[in-house]
């Protein structure tokens, strides 16, 4: 097939690809005028998509995170539950001080941590169904006795006096006359 | 015709809906085909054509008469269609749209214009399908120029105004599009049918 005939075939196919008229040709004018009268804006269907898709994804993620987040699922754990893990230094001190503070979160095992965690503000609906938890009392200040300065005073160090050295007597040297050489 | 268009525009500016309706009727085919060339989907093309007329109505005050109303309108229509083509939704629709309707239409056309033998008819049909695929595979610049040039509604000057490139560039693109398609057809064994 010659180039010319092939070009003709190409043009023919291209023309067919753009053939046609709007469906309901008679109603096209009416539809356009109706949209003008209604103050309709040109449609931009894709723009809501760009907004809706991320928004929907964010909502789904928020719901999933909220529902699968840590919740008290086991038996109730009292606020003064024994410490399961972690260092034991500071906690007994508080107990000795007579404060009912409950264990601090960083001192608890994972399960216990969930049990004593206070409900977050947006979980108000969920917290109503959650087991009752005693509110954590505020921690009072710890009384600390002032340090005794006297106890830190060091003992005096005894120093023996050195022996005095007797002064040396130095006699002045006598002048020695040198012999004359060129005499 | 251009003078009448200008008169209609003046009347439409004064709030005469019938005048603008007349402009819609007059330029509907050209606007629709430009949108179809850009989008390839009749449904999308109709939406884009409606949007183009709406936008043109709102911008009637900006029409200064430097070019013909048709050229001005087609420029708006082309940009509406291109914006739609770039949209994600349109891409999805085109990807999901079955091509069976086009193929069936092509088959009917092939039968209608079939040659003396069924073998020749089948070859012609295969050639047209190959050309169609090659046109779709063109770069957008070449494809747009070729389809608009063959739509029959626009001069090269009008296409140049729509695409905002010189007329000579449009002519080169049409010629280059044909050359690329011929080359692809030859590579597939269609060139010397």
Quick: pLDDT tens for A31-67. Answer: 988 888 887 766 555 455 566 777 888 888 888 888 8
Share of chain A above pLDDT 70, in %: 43
A23 and chain B in contact, CB less than 8 A = yes
- Sign, CA torsion A64/A66/A70/A74: negative
Tell me: the pLDDT tens digits for B68-99? 899 999 999 999 999 888 875 556 655 555 45
Q: What are A21's two structure tokens? A: 């008229």
Alpha helices, DSSP H, located in chain A: 3-17, 25-37, 46-68, 90-96, 110-116, 124-129
Give the chain A residue nearest B151 (alpha carbons): A15
- pLDDT averaged over every residue in chain A: 65
Cβ–Cβ < 8 Å for A33, B20: yes
Reduce the DSSP state of residue B22 to 3 states and report it: helix
Asked whether the beta carbons of B8 and B22 are under 8 A apart, the reply is yes
A35 to B50: CB separation less than 8 angstroms, yes or no? yes
Q: CA-nearest residue of chain A to B192?
A: A1
Nearest to A140 by CA among A104, A103, A98, A107: A98
C-alpha A60 chain-centroid distance: 23
HSE toward the beta carbon, residue B84, CA cutoff 13 A: 32
Burial class of A121 by CB neighbour count within 10 A (0 to 12, 13 to 18, 19+):
exposed
Q: What are phi and psi of A135, to 5 degrees?
A: -65, 150
Task: Report the residue of A14, A21, A53, A54 to disrupt the B interface, i.e. the one with the largest count of B CBs within 10 Å.
Answer: A14
Whether chain A has a CB inside 8 Å of the CB on B91: the answer is no
Q: What confidence tier does A163 reach under pLDDT thresholds 50, 70, 90?
A: confident
**pLDDT over threshold 70, residue A28:** yes
Residues 6+ apart with CB under 8 A from B109: A16, B128
Contact assessment for residue B31 and residue B77, using Cβ atoms and an 8 Å cutoff? yes
* Shortest CA gap A32–chain B (Å): 6
Nearest CA to B178 out of A25, A123, A135, A2 is that of A2
Residue of B12, B145, B178, B184 for testing the chain A interface, max A β-carbons within 10 Å: B178
Asked if pLDDT for residue A111 goes beyond 60, the answer is: no
Helix (H) or strand (E) holding B163: helix B156-163
Contact of B137 with chain A, judged by CB distance below 8 Å, is answered with no
Contact A116, A79 (CB under 8 A): yes
What ipTM is given for this predicted complex? 0.78
Say if the Cβ atoms of B89 and A18 lie within 8 Å.
Answer: no
Of the candidates B38, B40, B34, the residue with the CA atom closest to the CA atom of residue B95: B40
CB contact (8 A) between residue A23 and residue B42: yes
Residues of chain B with pLDDT under 70: 1-3, 88-116, 191-193
Question: Euclidean distance between the first and final Cα of chain A, in Å?
Answer: 144
| Nearest chain B CA: its distance from A57 CA (Å) | 17
Cβ–Cβ contact B182 with A under 8 A: yes
Better-predicted residue by pLDDT, A23 or B193: A23
Q: Which run of H or of E encompasses B2?
A: helix B2-13
- Does residue A75 or residue A145 have the better pLDDT? A145
Which residue of chain A comes nearest to B24, CA vs CA? A29
Do B128 and A49 count as a contact with CB atoms less than 8 A apart? no
Which domains does chain B show, CATH number per domain? 2-92 (1.10.1740.10), 98-187 (1.10.10.10)
pLDDT at A26: 72
What are the distances in angstroms from CA A182 to CA A176, A177, B10, B49, B164? 18, 15, 143, 139, 125
pLDDT for A63: 87
Q: Measure Cα distances from B71 to A45, A171, B155 in Å.
A: 26, 131, 10
Query: What residues of A are in contact with residue B39 (Cβ under 8 Å)?
Result: none
How many other C-beta atoms lie within 10 A of the C-beta of residue B68? 16
Which of chain A's residues have a Cβ under 8 Å away from the Cβ of B128? 9, 12-13
Work out how many CB contacts closer than 8 A connect A with B: 113
A131 in contact with B at a CB cutoff of 8 Å?
no
- Give the pLDDT confidence score for residue B152 in this predicted structure: 84
A22 shares contact with chain B (CB less than 8 Å) = yes
Q: What is the pLDDT of residue B31?
A: 93
Looking at residue A115, its pLDDT comes to 44
DSSP state letter for B60: G
């Amino acid at each position: 097939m010659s180039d010319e005939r092939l070009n003709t075939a190409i043009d023919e196919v291209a023309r067919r690809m753009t053939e046609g008229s709007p469906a309901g040709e008679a109603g096209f004018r009416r539809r356009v005028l109706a949209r003008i009268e209604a103050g309709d804006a040109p449609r931009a269907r894709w723009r809501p998509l760009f907004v809706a898709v991320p928004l929907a994804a964010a909502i789904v993620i928020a719901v999933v995170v909220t529902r699968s987040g840590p919740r008290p699922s086991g038996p109730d754990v009292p606020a003064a539950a024994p410490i399961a893990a972690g260092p034991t230094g500071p906690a007994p001190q508080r107990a000795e001080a007579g404060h009912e503070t409950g264990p601090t979160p960083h001192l608890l095992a994972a399960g216990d941590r969930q049990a004593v965690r206070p409900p977050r503000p947006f979980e108000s609906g969920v917290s109503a169904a959650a087991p009752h938890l005693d509110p954590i009392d505020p921690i009072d200040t710890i009384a600390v006795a002032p340090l005794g300065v006297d106890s830190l005073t060091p003992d005096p160090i005894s120093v023996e006096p050195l022996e005095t050295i007797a002064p040396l007597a130095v006699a002045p040297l006598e002048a020695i006359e040198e012999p004359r050489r060129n005499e | 015709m251009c003078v009448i268009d200008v008169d209609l525009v003046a009347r439409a500016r004064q709030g005469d809906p019938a005048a603008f309706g007349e402009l819609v009727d007059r330029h509907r085919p050209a606007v629709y085909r430009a949108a179809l060339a850009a989008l390839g989907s009749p449904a999308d093309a109709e939406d884009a054509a409606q949007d183009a007329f709406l936008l043109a109505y709102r911008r009637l005050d900006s029409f200064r008469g430097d070019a013909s109303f048709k050229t001005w309108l087609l420029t708006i229509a082309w940009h509406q269609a291109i914006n739609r083509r770039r949209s994600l939704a349109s891409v999805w629709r085109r990807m999901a749209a079955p091509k069976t309707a086009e193929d069936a239409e092509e088959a009917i056309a092939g039968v209608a214009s079939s040659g003396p033998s069924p073998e020749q008819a089948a070859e012609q049909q295969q050639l047209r399908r190959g050309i169609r695929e090659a046109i779709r595979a063109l770069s957008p610049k070449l494809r747009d120029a070729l389809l608009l040039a063959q739509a029959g509604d626009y001069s090269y000057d009008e296409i140049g105004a729509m695409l905002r490139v010189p007329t000579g560039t449009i002519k080169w693109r049409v010629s280059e599009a044909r050359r690329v398609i011929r080359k692809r057809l030859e590579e597939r064994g269609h060139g010397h049918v």
